[in-house]
């Protein structure tokens, strides 16, 4: 496999901060997302590579290994162990039996890449203390952007990760920034090891007039002066549709009303919802006619 410079891929240099990496990843992931580039294999490959680069560079430990070992960073742990065994055995780090390979000498940076290309690329069996070494495949990270209205109900969605379509159920109530793990959908294992996992982080965009705090929703509703003073009936919007409220006489601006169970679904708790908190904002009438002004003046005189 050709070496891919992750920094160059994300249009960054090696001094980039974690914030720089996150910003660059989001920009490029949106640009090359398969949904925006249907039937564009080049864009799909680029999207795959961008996810791979972000998965490595956004993880401080993986980034450290990548900076030190380049394309062989995934085998850095095995290399360090081999190096220790080489030092302990006086020069021979690994040896293979029939059909295997042997290596003697010092493990330095010049021989490291060639050694692991032979060790892992050829399908040879790695030997430590007489036992096969198996390595878990690389974990992948992906970001899924959804509208708040999309996660009000559970639904199925197909993602394209590394050229493969993965159909999964998005549970209602997923929160912005939440990450879920899809086991076994990462990179292939090394030497017969298990596949890596796929981690999906949700970027939830609020496309509604409601403010969300976990499972509770908040909304401000305008209330005309006359209904606020005398009371009456008011129709308000909830996430699930419109409902009618009875407004008490002499309702003050800033008054809060809780609509129990009219909030957002609770994550992975079927048929359980938070509350909707409505705040009344009493609006003063404008452009009063002469007669209206007279009536308000009369009312003013009635008040001590």
Neighbours of 105 (CB within 10 A): 11
Residues 162 and 240 in one domain: no
Confirm whether 284 is domain-assigned.
Answer: yes
Closest CA to 234 of 278, 275, 277, 264: 278
| Alpha carbon separation from 166 to 56, 145, 157, 198 (Å, rounded) | 21, 16, 8, 10
Whether 235 shows a pLDDT value over 50: the answer reads: yes
Residues with Cβ within 8 Å of 276's Cβ and at least 6 positions away in sequence, in order, are: 210, 216, 217, 218, 219, 238, 239, 258, 259, 262, 263
Residues 159 and 187 in one domain: yes
Domain range spanning residue 14?
6-121
Whole-angstrom Cα distance, residue 129 to residue 99?
18
Predicted TM-score (pTM) of this structure: 0.53
Total number of domains in the chain: 3
pLDDT of residue 254: 93
pLDDT of residue 95: 35
Closest CA to 218 of 281, 159, 128: 281
Confirm whether 224 is domain-assigned.
Answer: yes
Decide: 265 and 215 in contact? Cβ < 8 Å.
yes
The pLDDT tens digits of the residues spanning 49-59 come to 888 889 889 98
pLDDT of residue 248: 93
Confirm whether 95 is domain-assigned.
Answer: yes
* CA–centroid distance for 147 within its chain: 13
Confirm whether 132 is domain-assigned.
Answer: no
The pLDDT tens digits of the residues spanning 81-102 come to 655 655 554 443 333 333 333 3
Residues 181 and 285 in one domain: no
- Going by the DSSP 8-state scheme, the letter that residue 191 receives in this structure is T
How is 197-233 classified by DSSP, letter by letter?
A: -EEEEEEEE--SS-EEETTEEEEEEEEEHHHHHH-EE
Residues 284 and 234 in one domain: yes
Of the listed ranges 13-22, 110-119, 193-202, 241-250, the least confidently predicted one is: 110-119
pLDDT band at 221 (very low <50, low <70, confident <90, very high): very high
The pLDDT tens digits of the residues spanning 139-162 come to 888 888 899 998 998 988 888 777
Confirm whether 22 is domain-assigned.
Answer: yes
Q: What is the mean pLDDT of the chain?
A: 79
Whether 107 shows a pLDDT value over 50: the answer reads: no
Chosen domain end from 76, 93, 121 = 121
Whole-angstrom Cα distance, residue 116 to residue 288?
84
Which one is predicted more confidently, 3 or 224?
Answer: 224
Chosen domain end from 185, 205, 225 = 205
């Amino acid at each position: 496999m050709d070496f891919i410079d992750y920094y160059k891929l994300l249009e960054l240099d090696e001094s980039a901060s974690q914030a720089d990496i996150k910003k660059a990843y989001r920009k490029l992931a949106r640009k090359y997302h398969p949904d925006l580039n249907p039937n564009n294999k080049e864009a799909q490959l680029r999207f795959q590579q961008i996810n791979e680069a972000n998965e490595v560079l956004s993880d401080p430990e993986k980034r450290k290994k990548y900076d030190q070992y380049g394309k062989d960073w995934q085998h850095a742990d095995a290399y360090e162990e081999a190096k220790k065994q080489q030092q302990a055995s006086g020069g021979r780090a690994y040896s293979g039996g029939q059909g295997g390979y042997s290596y003697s000498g010092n493990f330095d940076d010049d021989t490291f890449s060639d050694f692991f290309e032979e060790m892992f690329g050829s399908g040879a069996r790695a030997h430590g203390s007489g036992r096969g070494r198996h390595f878990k495949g690389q974990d992948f990270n992906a970001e899924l952007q959804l509208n708040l209205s999309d996660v009000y109900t559970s639904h199925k969605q197909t993602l394209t990760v590394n050229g493969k379509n993965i159909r999964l159920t998005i549970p209602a109530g997923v929160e912005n920034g939440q990450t879920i793990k899809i086991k076994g959908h990462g990179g292939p294992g090394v030497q017969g090891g298990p596949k890596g996992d796929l981690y999906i982080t949700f970027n939830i965009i609020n496309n509604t007039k409601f403010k969300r705090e976990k499972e509770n929703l908040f909304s401000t509703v305008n209330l005309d002066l006359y209904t606020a003073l005398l009371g009456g009936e008011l129709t308000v919007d909830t996430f699930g549709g419109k409902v009618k409220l009875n407004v008490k006489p002499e309702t003050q601006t800033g008054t809060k009303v809780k609509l129990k169970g009219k909030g957002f679904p609770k994550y992975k708790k079927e048929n359980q919802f938070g509350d909707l908190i409505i705040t009344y904002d009493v609006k003063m009438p404008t452009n009063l006619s002469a007669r209206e002004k007279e009536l308000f003046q009369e009312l003013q005189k009635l008040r001590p």
